[in-house]
Structure 1
Amino acid sequence: MTRPLVLSAPEPRSLDLIFSQTARDELHDRYDVLDVAPKDIDSIHEENLADARYIIGQPALSRATLAEMTGLRCIFNVESNLIDNMPYDDLFARGIHVVTTGAVFAEPVAELGIAMALCLARDVLEADLAFREGSELWGGAGNQSSQLLSHSNIGIIGFGDLGRALARLLVGFRAEISVYDPWIPPSMLTDAGVNPATLDTVLQSSDTIFVVASVTAENQGFLNAVSFKQMRKGARLILLSRADVVDFADLMAAVRSGHILAASDVFPEEPLPSDHPVRGLKGFLRSAHRAGALDSAFKRMGDMVLEDMSLIDQDLPPMRCKRAERETVFRLRSKPVTTN
């Protein structure tokens, strides 16, 4: 019996990165896997294009190439950013699923986000540096600007997988959590145990703000100097999604002025130039886009892909990966990642 064909083009990921050895063995037991460089997919033999049931990756697809792929059922985007490099309208019209494995990053990114918030609230890194230099302040003298995360006011901007993961982890802090997300009905936020709020309310009332919104055609740079001026003096902004949702120069200026503190796992350029001014900015905590890049998260991708392939093989819809929506996919503006 002929096994279904999988086109493997997961760049910048690799099958070794996203599948454990056990899962990779299962993949090769159940399917014929054809490795292909994303740039070469248009030149694959017509027979292979017609036979392909799945794509692992998000290679650019022309309408002509997609038309040849008569057996295609699902594209598994393991890069996790939905990029405008394929004819989504044709895919939706033919009932071909496009799914992402990005949910695997929600928990690890949320955990690092909370670690960043605690570091800023309790001056953890500055106190450690002072200790190394012999200028530490003991006891209460070293806590003049410290605040508790517990029982504080916390804002979340964006409430997708990452926002929901944050809300779950923050329950133990018994904080008042307000959420701004114009794509989610207020009742769904209330059901999740958070308070629906306007952007102005989140900015003005929060001690700590987590920015986890996706980049869209409408929101690039929407957090700017006006937004940061609305924040409470000494409030903390934690940027975890994509740098393009903030005006980064304005964010640095707000931190440099002493009005707010900030932390970020993402930057306008990655890797960041060695002379970028944010590198030496006091009051700004930096992380090199590493919040979600854990081997355990990458390996969950492979498990999710295999589970959803199993469902689709039974003529059932995918359930583990997140499906692209026709109403929103054309509005997303994420940049592809270059480093795992």
Structure 2
Amino acid sequence: MSPGKPLILFDPHPRTEAMVFTGDVAEELAREARLVTHFGARAPDDLVESVLGEVAIIVGQTAMPKERLERAPNLKAIVNVKANWEPNIDYAEAQRRGIHVLSAAPAMAPAVAEYCLCQAIALARGLPAADRRFREGGEQYGIAGNGAAYSLFDAPVGLIGYGNLGRTLVPLLRPFTRRISVHDPWLSDRFLETQNVRPVGLDAVLSESRFLFILAGVTSENEGFLDEAKLALIPGDASVVLASRAEVVAFDGFVDMASKGRFRAAIDVFPQEPVADGDPMRRAGNILFSAHLAGGLEASYARIRDMMLDDVKLILRGLPPQRLQRAEPSQAAMARSR
């Protein structure tokens, strides 16, 4: 290590070395900085404390309360490669000190948006059930097998949440429909109108959407805000995709309503992961399950590495980051992502 170079701490758990610190990343960063790395678990306190006086950039989810920030005079940025905001950073103090707090969330959005689109179409066309009937020898051909199928073309679509994921999903929906409504209380109606979507209230987006995408992040203020009374507003037989945070819905009620045929559902996220082997949810019908697969592709991690490298090099040159998402302190402090 060259003493004159700035120091970068890699503490990316639960991201692995293969996800965020491949050989090319290590080689490129080593030209710019000294590297201290820890994989397999969160870095122990003694390791973090040993580098606080020198560290320029932390890549990972390291706890950085005010007391630690005060002991890190050279810190320029914290890069969360888990792609969320964790409540273990004093975001306001970091902003006050001019420390960039960044998330790799934009890197995950393309894969998750693609998942949302394909699951919505699979639900509406009844493809999981068609596959099952074929394997059991009970298939029906052509129109006879499409009695319950419907199309995304020109259908009313609703999004709950219009962050990185919503803004990536909408262009994928445009070739199918222009009837796109959005509910996001953190955004103004005028801003949403500039995005060529229709701003609506929560009840409207729930009751008017044939296709509904639940994309909101979970915060201290919205946990469980989609309770059973709100879920009851969803039109009968609508297709609903839950692909962001399970904690925003009354999850047991959501599963129960979908399994009874109130609406069709695709679920990729759960309140507790992994789901227990004996969980009765595994026997629920009318739901298309996947195991938190939406964003976890190698292409997503390649984007994380690329965006991280770009912004780290800019920051080390004294320039502002351009590609990762910046924390807004009041909103990031409310986040309750696991």
List, as ranges, runs of 4+ consecutive aligned residues in structure 1 with deviation greater than 6 Å: none
Aligned to 1:338: none
Number of residues of Structure 1 aligned to a counterpart in Structure 2: 334
Matched residue type, 1:216: T
Aligned to 2:102: 99
Q: Per-residue CA shift, 1:22-46, capped at 9, x if unaligned?
A: 2331012211101146342445465
Matched, 1:49 2:57: no
Matched, 1:225 2:224: no
Matched residue type, 1:89: A
Aligned to 2:217: 214
Matches within 5 A, 1:17-96: 17-36=19-38, 38-44=42-48, 46=50, 48-96=51-99
Distance in 2, matches of 1:62 and 1:229, equals 41
The answer to whether the 8 Å contact 2:107/2:307 transfers is: no
Q: Give unpaired runs (5+ residues) of structure 1.
A: 336-340
Distance in 1, matches of 2:48 and 2:102, equals 23
Matched, 1:173 2:184: no
The answer to whether the 8 Å contact 2:269/2:292 transfers is: yes
Aligned to 2:9: 7
Q: Per-residue CA shift, 1:54-103, capped at 9, x if unaligned?
A: 00101123433322211000001001121111222321221111100011
Distance in 1, matches of 2:267 and 2:327, equals 27
Matched residue type, 1:232: P
Q: Identify which range, 35-44 or 6-15, moves more after superposition.
A: 35-44
1:286 pairs with 271, 289, 298, which one? 289
SS across alignment from 1:146: coil
Aligned to 2:201: 198
Matched, 1:150 2:150: no
Q: TM-score, normalised by structure 1?
A: 0.94
Matched residue type, 1:23: V
Matched residue type, 1:320: R
Distance apart, 1:132 and its partner CA? 0.7
Matched residue type, 1:151: D
Distance in 2, matches of 1:182 and 1:238, equals 20
Q: TM-score, normalised by structure 2?
A: 0.95
Matched residue type, 2:56: R
SS across alignment from 2:52: helix
SS across alignment from 1:253: helix
Matched residue type, 2:291: A
Matched residue type, 1:14: T
Q: Give unpaired runs (5+ residues) of structure 2.
A: none
Note closer, same or farther for the CA distance 1:179–1:115 as it changes in structure 2 (3 Å cut): same
Matched residue type, 1:247: A
Matched residue type, 1:120: L
Distance in 2, matches of 1:321 and 1:26, equals 18
